[in-house]
Structure 1
C-alpha cells in the first residue's frame, strides 16, 4: 500500500528579468513538470502557492496556468493553495476556466483551489489511491497575512497574539478537521503557504514576508504523513525531527539570489506508519542566472563556461570605459546581459553629501512652482494650483478636511446663494479663511 504525491510550488508565472519576459522558459519547465508527473503517476498533485507573480497576471499567464493545471489534472487530482502573490479573484477565474465555465461539478472537478483559511471555508478533501487500498486526505492552508486575522477571524484573543500563535491556532483547526475519523489506511497531507522558522530563503521572496515576525513555529506544524510547503524558493527539507515536510521551491531561478539553487519538484511515496520516501527531482529547463565579477581579463576567463544564461556583470576598471557593453557582448555571445556595473578606484566616494553643499536645497513648493510653467500651467491657473497644494499641506486632520474653493462654490449653489455675487476671489478668500481657522 503506497500513496504517491507530486509536490510543486511557486511557479510565479509572469516573473521577468528586468523588463524581459520569460515565456519560453515557463512553457518549457511546465512541460517538464507534466512529463515528470506522467512518469511518476501520482495519486495527488499539490501546488503549494504563488501560481502567479502578481495580483493582476496577464491573460497569457492565466492561459498558461490553466493549460498546465488541466494537463496535470488529467494525470491526477490537483490541489492549488493560494500564496501571498495570488488573489482569490484570479484563482477563482482560473477555476472557472478549468471547470469549463462552471459546467463541471462534483467528481468531475480535477483541480481545486484553497483560498479561504476560515473554519467554514477550509479545503479538506479525500482522494483514493490508484491501488484502491489507501485514501489520501489533504488539508490546505492558504497564505494568511496578519491583517487578515482582523477581517476573517473574530476571536478577540487573536488581536494581541503573535503571528506564530495565531497561525498555530489555524493549523490546529486544519489538523483537527483532517484527522477527524482517520482510519489505518488514511494518509494525511498538509499543504500550506507559509514561512517556517529555520527555513533557508533565497531572498528573492518578499523580504517582509520572511521576517521573524511572519515565521510559523516548526514545533507547531501538524503531525501528518507529509507537509507540502510553499513560499520559500529554495528546495529543502524542513528542519524538524519527526515532521516529513519540504519546500518544493520555484521551478526557475527567479532572481540572482537563487543563482546557485538547483530547482526541482518533490516526489513522495507514503506508506501508513512509515516515514515517507522523499526525492527531489531536478528541473533542467530554465536558463541559469549568473553573476560575473572581476576585471575584463578575469571575466573573459569565466565567459567560456557561461553559455545560454541571464547574466549580471560587475567589472573592475581603472576608469569609466566606453563600449563596455559591446566588449562583454562579444565575450558572452549566447547569454543575455541584463545588467552591467563598473567599479573603479574612488567611485565609492562620489556620493552627494548635503554638508558639501553651499546653498540650501529648494523646497517642494519652489520645485513645483518652477516645474509647472514648463508644463503649461501659469498665471492664475498656477496660483490656483499652488493654493490647492497649500491646502493639502495644511491638512491637520484627515477626519476634518479643509475645504477648497470648488467645495465652497458647490455649497453656495446647494444653498441657493447668488453665485455671481460671490466671485472667484471671494471663494479663494473663503478657503484661505478656513485654512487659518483649521490651523488655529
Structure 2
C-alpha cells in the first residue's frame, strides 16, 4: 500500500497580489505524474484545499480537474476540510463521488474509507466551540476535540489505520502564511494524541516536518510567504508495508529571495527573475524605491524599510485640527520618508486635494 500525503493547496491564493493559479496548475501536473510513476494507491489531502470559504471559480475548476485526473488513474483520493475551507461547500456531493472521498463533517471522522483493508480516517479541522456540546467535551480546546476523535478511531477494531488531521501539533514550526486557529480554544495539540495508528497525515503548517516516524506534515506545495524561502516543497510518499517515507520535491515556479541593504548597493547585484522581498537600510527612505527596484528586479513584490542604526524614532503626536489639509499631507510625507516633499510633490498634493474638494462640492 503506497500513499501520497499532501496538504494546504490553498487554491485561489495569490502571492503579494500576484496570481499563483498557473503555478498551482503545474503542481497538479506534478502530482498526477508522481501518482502514475510511483504507482500510488491513495492520495490524501489534509485540509485547506482552497484558500477561502468561497473560492474563485477558476480555483474550483482546477480542483475539479485535479480530482478527475486522479480518479482516471484509478487511485482513491481522501480529502478533509481545513480552517480555510467551508466544510459545507467542500463537502457538497461527498456521497455521490466514486473514488473521491470527502470528509468535512466532524461526526464522520471515525467512519473509515477502506482501501485494500486499510482504514483512512479523516478528521477535518475541528472548531472546539462547535463540537464541545455535541461531543460532551470537558473543555473547549483543540486537544479535547482531537483526543475525542482519536479515541473513537482507536476503538475501531480495524487492524491498519491512517489518519488525516488538520491541526497545530506542539513542537511544529509555523510560518507567516498560516491563519491563526487559536480562536475557540488553545490551539496546540500534543503529539501523543495521535498514538496508536500506522500513519498520521497532518495539514495546517506550511513547512514539511517529521514530528515522529509515523506523524508528519507535508507542508504546502508552494511558498505562500517569504518566511518559506528556505523550504523544500512537495509531498510525502509513504509505503505502509515497508514502514518508510520518502519526500518528493515539487516544482519551483519562481524562487524566493530576500535582499537587504542600501538601494544603490542592491541595484549593483545581478538581475534575476525571483520573487524579491527588499529591505532597504538607507538612512533616508529613497524616492521611487519600488519603481527603481522593479526596473532591475522585475518581480519585486515586497518592500520594507529598516534604516541603519536601528528603528526609526517614534513620531510626536501631530495636531490636524484647524490646519490646511496640504500641510497635514506634507507632514505625513516627511514622517514616512525622513525628508520633506520637493516642489513637484507638493504641487501634486495640492492638485489632488483641490480635485477632491471640487468633487465633494459638485456631487
Structure 1 residues 296 and 159, CA gap change in structure 2 (3 angstroms): same
Question: Take 1:126 and 1:352, find their aligned partners in 2: how far apart are those partners?
Answer: 63
Question: Take 2:181 and 2:360, find their aligned partners in 1: how far apart are those partners?
Answer: 39
Question: Take 1:197 and 1:330, find their aligned partners in 2: how far apart are those partners?
Answer: 44
Structure 1 residues 291 and 212, CA gap change in structure 2 (3 angstroms): farther
Residue equivalent to 1:192: 165
Residue equivalent to 1:160: 139
Contact 1:15–1:21 (CA<8 Å) still a contact in 2?
yes
Alignment partner of 1:237 out of 210, 213, 217: 210
More deviation in 336-345 or 194-203? 336-345
Contact 1:88–1:115 (CA<8 Å) still a contact in 2?
yes
**Structure 1 residues 143-179: Cα deviation after superposition (integer angstroms, max 9, x where no partner):** 101221245x241xx25354313321221112223xx
- 1:270 deviates by 1.6
Question: Take 2:308 and 2:172, find their aligned partners in 1: how far apart are those partners?
Answer: 39
- 1:344 deviates by 3.8
TM-score by length of 1: 0.67
Structure 1 residues 313 and 210, CA gap change in structure 2 (3 angstroms): farther
Residue equivalent to 2:86: 87
Question: Take 1:210 and 1:308, find their aligned partners in 2: how far apart are those partners?
Answer: 39
- 1:40 deviates by 0.8
Structure 1 residues 40 and 315, CA gap change in structure 2 (3 angstroms): same
Structure 1 residues 208 and 163, CA gap change in structure 2 (3 angstroms): closer
Structure 1 residues 298 and 321, CA gap change in structure 2 (3 angstroms): closer
Structure 1 residues 375 and 323, CA gap change in structure 2 (3 angstroms): closer
For the aligned residue pairs, the C-alpha RMSD in angstroms reads 3.0
* Number of equivalences: 328
Residue equivalent to 2:195: 222
- 1:317 deviates by 2.0
**Structure 1 residues 222-276: Cα deviation after superposition (integer angstroms, max 9, x where no partner):** 31111111111100111x4xx51210110000111111111011101122xx6x1
- 1:9 deviates by 0.6
Q: Secondary structure at the match of 1:266?
A: strand
TM-score by length of 2: 0.81
**2:243 matches 1:280:** no
Alignment partner of 1:149 out of 123, 131, 140: 131
Question: What are the ranges of 5 or more consecutive residues in structure 1 without an aligned counterpart?
Answer: 129-134, 361-373, 377-440
Contact 2:110–2:149 (CA<8 Å) still a contact in 1?
no
Structure 1 residues 269 and 346, CA gap change in structure 2 (3 angstroms): closer
- 1:114 deviates by 0.4
Alignment partner of 1:33 out of 31, 39, 42: 31
**2:226 matches 1:256:** yes
Structure having the higher helix fraction is: 1
Larger Rg: 1
**Structure 1 residues 181-219: Cα deviation after superposition (integer angstroms, max 9, x where no partner):** 43xxxx321111111111111231113449992111111
Question: Take 2:223 and 2:293, find their aligned partners in 1: how far apart are those partners?
Answer: 23
**2:262 matches 1:295:** yes
- 1:36 deviates by 0.9
Contact 1:72–1:78 (CA<8 Å) still a contact in 2?
yes
